Amino acid sequence: DGGITQSPKYLFRKEGQNVTLSCEQNLNHDAMYWYRQDPGQGLRLIYYSQIVNDFQKGDIAEGYSVSREKKESFPLTVTSAQKNPTAFYLCASNLAGAPNEQYFGPGTRLTVT
Amino acid sequence: DAKTTQPTSMDCAEGRAANLPCNHSTISGNEYVYWYRQIHSQGPQYIIHGLKNNETNEMASLIITEDRKSSTLILPHATLRDTAVYYCIVRVSETSGSRLTFGEGTQLTVNP
């Protein structure tokens, strides 16, 4: 099946630890995105990448880092510098060019205590 | 990207049409209107998009006013599985990026 996978679905970490969230797509999409969602709110863009080995900060990049070494993978690291890391994290991708809809993964719910 | 305004919540009876409004009075000529929905604790799902003309697909219809300052998403025969948060987004279609700016959306509840 083609799609976007995120793992794990639930993740628990202690405060002060870095944690990496996985996002993989087999849709041959060029662009990939990471969003954060807090309860009762819409999605906010963390980072995005339009091509391998290149990425840009979104609206709330502080405390996060990404890499794009392969077209199909865009892992997100939540560092200890992120003050409120507990949230629902969503990965998305789309073909380059416009207008193209974004396809979203199922999300990872991160809880930091 | 232009800002959108949507009602916080709406109810609809099962089997009836659900009409979800969106105001985007500051939309620019090169901005598209997109609709996504998010069922609780899942990733958002693309529904439909349009520029000027009305659009229809297997999920919904999108009606855009002539001045493009507002639009309505129509689910013709709502089912209980259509209960979700619906997001209206306007954005410039660029070849170099596809940023989506999500507001808080409309919580649609379909009642039996």
Contact (CB<8Å) A99/B93: yes
Contact (CB<8Å) B99/A58: yes
Question: What is the model's pLDDT at position A98?
Answer: 54
Among all chains, which residue has been given the structure tokens 């202690």? A14
Pairwise pLDDT comparison (A1 vs A113), residue with the higher score: A113
* Nearest residue in chain A measured CA to CA from B47: A101
Instruction: Give A53-98 pLDDT, tens digit per residue.
Output: 999 999 999 999 999 999 999 999 999 889 999 999 999 998 876 5
CB pairs < 8 Å spanning A and B: 63
Q: Would you mind telling me the total number of residues written for chain B in this entry?
A: 112
Pairwise pLDDT comparison (B98 vs B49), residue with the higher score: B49
Token pair belonging to A100: 């193209």
What does DSSP assign to residue B28?
A: -
Question: Residue A81 carries which side chain, given as an amino acid letter?
Answer: A
**Whole-number percent of chain B with pLDDT over 90:** 75
H helices present in chain B, as ranges: none
SS3 A21: strand
By the 8 A CB rule, do A11 and A110 touch? yes
Across all residues in chain B, what is the average pLDDT? Answer: 91
Question: What is the model's pLDDT at position B98?
Answer: 60
By the 8 A CB rule, do A24 and A106 touch? no
Instruction: Give B23-56 pLDDT, tens digit per residue.
Output: 999 998 888 899 999 998 899 999 999 999 899 9
pLDDT over 90 at A109, yes or no: yes
User: Rounded to whole angstroms, how far apart are CA atoms B62 and B56?
Assistant: 6
Question: What is the model's pLDDT at position B95?
Answer: 47
Pairwise pLDDT comparison (A101 vs A22), residue with the higher score: A22
Ramachandran class of A3: left when φ > 0, alpha when ψ lies in -120 to 50, beta otherwise = left
pLDDT over 90 at B96, yes or no: no
Q: Which of A44, A48, A101 sits opposite B49 (nearest CB)?
A: A101
> Which of A61-75, A99-113, B75-89 is predicted least confidently?
A99-113
Question: What is the model's pLDDT at position B7?
Answer: 97
Other Cβ atoms within 10 Å of A42 Cβ, number = 19
User: Rounded to whole angstroms, how far apart are CA atoms A21 and A14?
Assistant: 15
CA separation, residue A77 to residues A13, A39, A58, B60 (Å): 13, 21, 15, 37
Across all residues in chain A, what is the average pLDDT? Answer: 92
Contact (CB<8Å) B93/A105: no
Other Cβ atoms within 10 Å of B9 Cβ, number = 11
Instruction: Give A7-22 pLDDT, tens digit per residue.
Output: 899 999 999 999 999 9
pLDDT over 90 at B3, yes or no: no
